[in-house]
């Protein structure tokens, strides 16, 4: 297991926030957002963060190196349910950058109230799925670049 981050419950501890609205199609028979939809929220926030940092994922994937950031591990702690039409804030923090992996911590809130925390571990892979060195721009996204 590579997971080492402990997501904070404080929104101010995160460097990026992405806002979205939950959809009716994502609810289950109990009228709450099905747990299987949370990874899509995490991915949407991650991709938006890269784009806002100047590195749209479609360009990263299509670049000369053709790098992908494969999800190696995923952990979600559900704290309170999400419901249809919630205005969800997904707070994102990249951390624990190595030569081939990085981790992302998430805090999902509605009106400032924590609804879930999560961590994903990502590995850099080339177009054939083989492990690759992390591209230099990732350090910029982490805020550690020159």
Domains of the chain by range and CATH?
11-142 (3.10.129.10)
Give the Cα separation of 128 and 119 in Å (integer). 25
At 139 the pLDDT is 84
- Dump pLDDT digits (tens) for 28-44: 999 999 999 999 999 99
Q: What is the mean pLDDT of residues 64-81?
A: 91
Please state, in angstroms and as integers, the Cα–Cα distance from residue 136 to each residue in 67, 71, 89, 123, following that order. 11, 19, 28, 14
What percent of the chain has a predicted confidence (pLDDT) above 70?
94
At 63 the pLDDT is 61
At 2 the pLDDT is 80
Give the Cα separation of 108 and 38 in Å (integer). 9
Give the Cα separation of 30 and 21 in Å (integer). 19
What is the model's pTM?
Answer: 0.92
At 108 the pLDDT is 98
What percent of the chain has a predicted confidence (pLDDT) above 90?
75
- Dump pLDDT digits (tens) for 127-140: 888 999 998 888 88
Confidence band for 146, pLDDT divided at 50, 70 and 90: very low
């Amino acid at each position: 297991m590579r997971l080492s981050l402990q997501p904070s419950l404080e929104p101010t501890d995160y460097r990026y926030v992405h806002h979205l609205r939950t959809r009716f199609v994502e609810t289950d028979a109990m009228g709450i957002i099905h747990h299987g939809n949370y990874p899509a929220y995490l991915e949407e926030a991650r991709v938006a963060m890269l784009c806002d940092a100047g590195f749209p994922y479609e360009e990263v994937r299509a670049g000369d190196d053709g790098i992908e950031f494969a999800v190696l591990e995923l952990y979600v702690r559900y704290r309170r349910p999400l419901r249809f039409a919630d205005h969800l804030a997904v707070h994102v923090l990249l951390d624990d950058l190595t030569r081939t992996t990085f981790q992302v911590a998430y805090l999902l809130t509605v009106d400032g109230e924590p609804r879930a925390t999560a961590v994903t571990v990502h590995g850099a892979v080339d177009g054939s799925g083989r492990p690759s060195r992390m591209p230099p721009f990732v350090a910029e996204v982490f805020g550690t670049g020159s």
